[in-house]
Amino acid sequence: MKISPYINLLLASTAVLSSCTTKQTVEKTRPNILYIMCDDHSYQTISAYGSEVSKLAPTPNIDRLASEGMLFDRAFVENSLSAPSRACLMTALYSHQNGQEQLCEGIDTTKTFFTELLHDDGYETGIVGKWHLMCEPKGFDYYHILDDQGKYYNPTFKSKETHGKYVQEKGYATSLITQHAIEFLDHRDKSKPFCLMVHHKAPHRNWMPEQKYLDLYEDVEFPVPATFWDDYETRGVAAHTQKLNIANAMEMAQDLKVPELCDTTTAEGHFSYVCLMGELGRLTPEERAAWDKHYGPRNKKLLEAKLTGKELTVWKYQNYMKDYLRCIKSVDDSVGELLAYLEKEGLLDNTIIVYTSDQGFWMGEHGWFDKRFMYEESFRTPLLIRYPQAIKAGSRCSRLVQNLDFAPTLLDVAGVKVPEQMEGRSLVPLFGENRDTVEWRKSLYYHYYDYPTFHLVRRHDGVRTDRYKLIHFYGKGGVEGATPNMLKPGTRENRTFNMLSKANYFPTSSEDINYNELYDLEKDPNELNNLYGQPGYEEITKELQGLLDDYRTKLNVTEY
């Protein structure tokens, strides 16, 4: 067992009081771990990051982690999609290495999960909430996990005690996940350090608020992003053919809760209607009455206004933001409840607390919602870490970090040797005040594979440095681009592919692509001006292409 320097310091101080350190005393000095991860929580909607939107919808409990710990300005994912991101978290391997390139099947369960290493080294381990990997949780003493994506209202969970069956529980998903997290903390073996992973469903699509917050932000008008009406003029096919636009891809029933304007005669409209009714059908009569009391008058007003064009698009944006941020309010409450519990139990200062998301999310930038692209709002994820034993309150880090680094970091602070095969790096050297002088990576690699499927984002990989980003888009278009797993009968990818094909979701023709985009993030942080092929950028293009080629060779990437 490799003990990191500050763990050695703690053990040495304990030795002053006792000439021999028992195993139990060592365990008590090892830090507890609380890892909180949301699904699709954008950094733009955490007020510690300072956006105009977040000032109107503050997150005081999440902000506390920043004011008492460290906020990371440049944290990114390696594949902006839920299950691939989670597989990366558990294995510290890239998607093509851990097998989880797409949304459903794929993870290689022979790979080591970092929780297995913690468990074997004396940690009591638990996970509550969204798992979303098609395997049983590995390396956990306790789990209480949602069915697949999970539902917001009266959701179903399974645990070791339910013997593989999902059992419905009464309540709101965020509150129930918090409740089960505290149950784990209450009943754990208190002679051991713990690692608890709290994975919220919120604020994943379709943004269903907790009953008590249905009217929150009702009179707030959120600022429309500067790039909201982006026409993608300098960008390639991928930006023009995606289905991420709030204007035409956001569903009136599923997303905006207006079934009255849902065309159920189309396959897409029918699917949207079924998604909404599936959630509402879980409500009790009293809960449904509260729901109707909020959305009924709003929808009636919309129908009477008969909005079209840009006015309707802005209405969609405003109501998307309100429901999304109502979900975040419940998450912020949860963080406050967990902090209060740790404080009450005297555990707060010996617990490293990580708050993050499985990827970024668009809050109307470029007119989009969702994620998947390597563009900043999707690629970048929030990351806040509170750990007073090693991090000075109010710290900020601008080094390039990635979700590959989370597992090595948690192993390092626990004093567990980080396996050589893990691709990530421990963030511990960045915790100190000399973080800007620490030898650290100069670039990041990204790869997105999941096409053709929901949102039609084309396959791409790329490299990002402090200042520049090179993205390579590639692959056959439309149904011709289907992966073997999408065409394999019996797989979930195949069922999704067939459903979308029958719904005419894929365009009748979609070209094969092989092109690059280049951005100067210092001069063009909104990534509006693709510089690839423009005079004066030959040297930086050559340098970035060399970096990208090196990543592909080093990581044995065979698809690009």
- In terms of pLDDT, which residue wins out, 5 or 163? 163
Percent of the chain with pLDDT strictly greater than 70:
95
Residue 354, beta-bridge partner list: 35, 385
Domains of the chain: 31-208+321-433 (3.40.720.10), 445-554 (3.30.1120)
Give the pLDDT band of residue 120 (cuts 50, 70, 90).
very high
3-state secondary structure of 87: helix
Q: pLDDT for 288-317, tens place per residue?
A: 999 999 999 999 999 999 999 999 999 999
Check if the beta carbon of residue 174 is closer than 8 Å to that of residue 230: no
Q: Tell me what pLDDT residue 25 has.
A: 41
Which token pair is 207?
A: 């943004």
Q: Which residue has the tokens 């990351």?
A: 383
Q: Tell me what pLDDT residue 26 has.
A: 38
Provide the greatest CA pair distance for the chain. Answer: 80
Q: pLDDT for 169-186, tens place per residue?
A: 999 999 999 999 999 999
Q: Tell me what pLDDT residue 164 has.
A: 86
> pTM of whole model > 0.75?
yes
Mean pLDDT score of the chain: 94
- In terms of pLDDT, which residue wins out, 472 or 10? 472
Averaged pLDDT for residues 535-557: 98
- In terms of pLDDT, which residue wins out, 265 or 160? 160
Question: What is d(CA 293, CA 418) in angstroms, rounded to the nearest whole number?
Answer: 53
Averaged pLDDT for residues 142-162: 96
Q: Tell me what pLDDT residue 407 has.
A: 98
Is residue 5 scored above 60 in pLDDT?
A: no
DSSP string for residues in 389-411: TT--TTEEE-S-EEGGGHHHHHH
Q: Tell me what pLDDT residue 542 has.
A: 98
DSSP string for residues in 51-78: -HHHHHS--HHHHHHHHTSEEESSEE-S
Nearest Cα neighbor of 115 from 89, 93, 95 is 89
Is residue 73 scored above 70 in pLDDT?
A: yes
Rounded to 5 degrees, what angle do the CA atoms 383, 388, 392 make?
A: 75
* Torsion over CA: 339, 73, 132, 365 (sign): positive
Question: What is d(CA 20, CA 6) in angstroms, rounded to the nearest whole number?
Answer: 19
Q: Tell me what pLDDT residue 265 has.
A: 82
Averaged pLDDT for residues 139-145: 98
Which token pair is 268?
A: 């897409």
Give the pLDDT band of residue 1 (cuts 50, 70, 90).
very low
DSSP state of 346: T
Q: Tell me what pLDDT residue 271 has.
A: 83
Nearest Cα neighbor of 427 from 455, 466, 400 is 400
- In terms of pLDDT, which residue wins out, 503 or 280? 280
The DSSP H or E segment spanning 355 is strand 351-357
